[in-house]
A = this chain, B = another copy of it.
Amino acid sequence: MNTVLLESKEPNPSDLIWSERLKVDFDVNKMHEFLEGSKKNSIEMMKLMQQIERDPILNVNAEYYEMSKNEHRELTAQKIARLAKYIENDAPDFETFQNRLNMIAVVDPQLGTRIGVHLGLFLGALKGNGTEDQFNYWAIERGALYMRGIYGCFAMTEMAHGSNVAGLETTATFNKEKNTIIINTPHVGATKWWIGGAAHSATHTVCYARLISDGKDYGVKTFMVPLRDSNHELCPGVSIGDIGAKMGRDGIDNGWIQFSNVEIPKEYMLSKFTTIDEDGEVVDPPLAQLAYGALLGGRVTMVTDSFRTSERFITIALRYSVGRRQFASKGEKIENQLINYPLHQRRLIPYLSWTYGMAIASEEIQQFYKQILQELDDGVKSGDFDKLKVAIDNLKMLFGNSASLKSTCTWTALSLIDECRQSCGGHGYSSYSGFAKGFTDHAVQCTWEGDNNVLAQNSGRITIQKTIAYLKSNKAPKGDYSFISESSKKGEILNKSNIINLDKLLEAYDAILYRISLDCISSLEKNGNDWDAISSEKLALSKLYSVRYILSKWIAKMQTLQKDNGNIAKYLVKLAQVFAFSNIETFGSWFLQFGVISNDDFKSLKTEHDKLLLELRSQVIGLTDSFKFSNFFINSTLGSFNGDIYNDYLKVVKTQDKQFGGKAPYSEVLEKMLNRGSVEEREHGQKSEEVLEKLSN
């Protein structure tokens, strides 16, 4: 409580938030279970969160928003060392450790990445490309699995090659005489670049390089290359530097690496799939594509990241929208809460629905990924080719689904963060609101591990190809593409009377995907199969595929709810409708152009949409409380559970202000400026009439 003069009235954001909390119309615990997939998951997640927020080294607070690059790096290293102990403790249950990492990434994404590079990329590549013996030596015997002895990085990207992995130019030349391989960076463009952990940390790397044997180029393979010795000093021929400041994630020591004829034993080539015999012949079995399976894990994780990040930021924005008043309506004395404005509802609630949608997508794709890894393992171990074929088909499906979902969800989360920031007005621009770092940290998700635009092209192409195959065979595709069907070819699917029916809405998405595909096929026939010419269509297809994927899984998941569901079904349906509606509006020109909905009914959809938003408006506190993010995970002056926005904010600002009440260190510069003499004085009057008179004689 502050000293307040009698006649004034302090704003009361806490009251506002608490009075809405009392009106929550469903069981928040049950909603959390729905979001996490099960009661068991819900409890597990809460345990992990408690462990993280209580840990003194993993701690994060407002100070985090003030740190310099060097401070972030040092702190991140300390946290890595701390987590090395958790991984020993969690082992062999790596799923728990992965969940732990995912939650840490919510408040400290750079830390998540640092460890993700080692465990996910470095060890993932080792597991995907190396033999069992190779994995056992480096990961177990040498301790990499527990971040002991070995810290790895992943040297794939080069300065001049990002998305096009097959075009990498680092060479790995087999030396038959010495039975060694020479790793070399031929020119500046082939410098390994963006390599997380390389600048200061990694002792080893999995290096992607073109295998050359007897002058023949066998394409890009993977090699274990030591970078630093046990004194943490660079190995000869290895040049490494820091690539410096980035938009975000400063705690990651991304580096560049140039190899100048670095010699490694032949046995350091990862050889689950590729081997070199004594004569230098390279044997490359057809299953090498399986090696990429492990790398898809990164894309899958990013769907989860997008979901968790969205949970955090939509909570902040919606709490603020309830606690903040601005402008009084006509005739009113008290100003209106932001959330009462229909435009504010339209800006935020569709993103809330996306967050719920991403929860479903995240769980589905995680499960599918785990299933495939198991199938692959079983298939390889048993040598059963039928099993392997199923696994490979599923892997292909995952490739397409993850391409669409990774790109769509990371983009959505990025625009969600910025819309949430803008919705908090000026205060959203304060670092302590969390949005600034949230945005800059998340931004890279749209680019790394498959540039979003490139991935979206892949996904769009797959939908078209599935449609082509369907038209040829007249057989419905399997799995997630089974929606492709002649029945959605023509006519208006949605109309005024069926517009809130979720099945009908799903049908509308089936139809739009099919019709755009047909249109693309006809373009391809006319343009001589120029796939680049239909790139904006492919982009739309990829985004729409994600929406359809989520909506279909959402509807299916609703079926599994029990009758006694604490009234969550009611709001899940409304959120699903908002999700479907808002995306039809976003892609409105496609839905109208292809006649999935008529111009008149498009207007009705908007009206229904507004009605739903109003119905959800009273539940926004409950729908975000359901995420169960404590203040630690929110880490924002604007979004704490109690919602005492203004006092929280002033307190943080005062704590962070090291010069409070005093002068700034640079005050002298300003004082000198303010107290300077006039131009005439400073120039000894050398432009005065008197002087000019003198000078003219």
Q: Could you list which residues of chain A lie within 8 angstroms of chain B, going by C-beta atoms?
A: 2, 4-5, 7-11, 65-66, 68-70, 73-74, 77-78, 80-81, 84, 88, 147-151, 157, 159-164, 167, 169, 184, 186-191, 193-194, 199-201, 203, 230, 232-234, 239, 241-248, 253, 256, 324-328, 335, 341-343, 346-347, 418, 421-422, 425-426, 428-432, 435-436, 439-440, 443-444, 446-448, 451-453, 457, 532-533, 535-536, 539, 585, 588-589, 591-595, 599, 602-603, 606, 610, 646-647, 649-650, 652-654, 656-657, 659-661, 663-667, 669-676, 678-679
Contact of A431 among B247, B425, B585 (CB under 8 A): B247
What is the bound-complex CA distance between A246 and B436, given in angstroms? 7
What is the bound-complex CA distance between A605 and B587, given in angstroms? 17
CB distance from A306 to the nearest CB of B (A): 16
A447 close to B425 (CB less than 8 A): yes
CB distance from A194 to the nearest CB of B (A): 5
What is the bound-complex CA distance between A260 and B652, given in angstroms? 21
A189 close to B435 (CB less than 8 A): no
A245 close to B656 (CB less than 8 A): yes
Contacts of A150 in B (CB 8 A): 674
B422 close to A232 (CB less than 8 A): no
What is the bound-complex CA distance between A191 and B650, given in angstroms? 9
A430 close to B244 (CB less than 8 A): yes
Counting chain B CB atoms within 10 Å of each CB, which of A66, A425, A610 scores highest?
Answer: A425
What is the bound-complex CA distance between A501 and B203, given in angstroms? 63
Contact of A187 among B8, B160, B428 (CB under 8 A): B8
Known: A447-B426, A536-B346. A77 touches B669 (CB 8 A): yes
Contacts of A533 in B (CB 8 A): 342, 610
A242 close to B660 (CB less than 8 A): yes
8 nearest CB pairs, A to B: A588-B589, A8-B186, A247-B436, A200-B664, A245-B431, A343-B535, A74-B666, A81-B673
| New contact pairs (5) apart from A74-B666, A588-B589, CB-CB < 8 Å | A8-B186, A8-B190, A191-B650, A245-B431, A593-B603
CB distance from A470 to the nearest CB of B (A): 23
In chain B, what residue has the closest Cβ to A161?
B326
In chain B, what residue has the closest Cβ to A189?
B11
In chain B, what residue has the closest Cβ to A539?
B343
A188 close to B646 (CB less than 8 A): yes
Contact sample, A vs B, 7 pairs, CB 8 Å cutoff: A73-B664, A77-B670, A242-B656, A243-B430, A244-B653, A246-B430, A589-B602
Known: A66-B245, A602-B589. A428 touches B457 (CB 8 A): no
Known: A2-B188, A188-B2, A647-B188. A659 touches B160 (CB 8 A): no
B670 close to A343 (CB less than 8 A): no
What is the bound-complex CA distance between A501 and B78, given in angstroms? 64
What is the bound-complex CA distance between A188 and B654, given in angstroms? 13
B5 close to A80 (CB less than 8 A): no
B242 close to A666 (CB less than 8 A): no
What is the bound-complex CA distance between A428 and B248, given in angstroms? 12
CB distance from A338 to the nearest CB of B (A): 10
What is the bound-complex CA distance between A164 and B666, given in angstroms? 34
Known: A10-B188, A422-B447, A674-B148. A646 touches B199 (CB 8 A): no
A346 close to B160 (CB less than 8 A): no
A422 close to B589 (CB less than 8 A): no
B244 close to A327 (CB less than 8 A): no
Contacts of A187 in B (CB 8 A): 2, 4-5, 8-11
In chain B, what residue has the closest Cβ to A234?
B661
A425 close to B162 (CB less than 8 A): yes
CB distance from A93 to the nearest CB of B (A): 15
Contacts of A422 in B (CB 8 A): 446-447, 451-453
What is the bound-complex CA distance between A661 and B163, given in angstroms? 29
Contacts of A585 in B (CB 8 A): 589
B151 close to A670 (CB less than 8 A): yes
B342 close to A660 (CB less than 8 A): no
Known: A253-B664, A440-B440, A666-B77. A163 touches B430 (CB 8 A): no
CB distance from A162 to the nearest CB of B (A): 5
Contact of A5 among B184, B243, B663, B676 (CB under 8 A): B184
B646 close to A159 (CB less than 8 A): yes
A421 close to B440 (CB less than 8 A): no
CB distance from A434 to the nearest CB of B (A): 10
Contacts of A430 in B (CB 8 A): 243-247
B162 close to A426 (CB less than 8 A): yes
Contact of A84 among B328, B646, B673 (CB under 8 A): B673
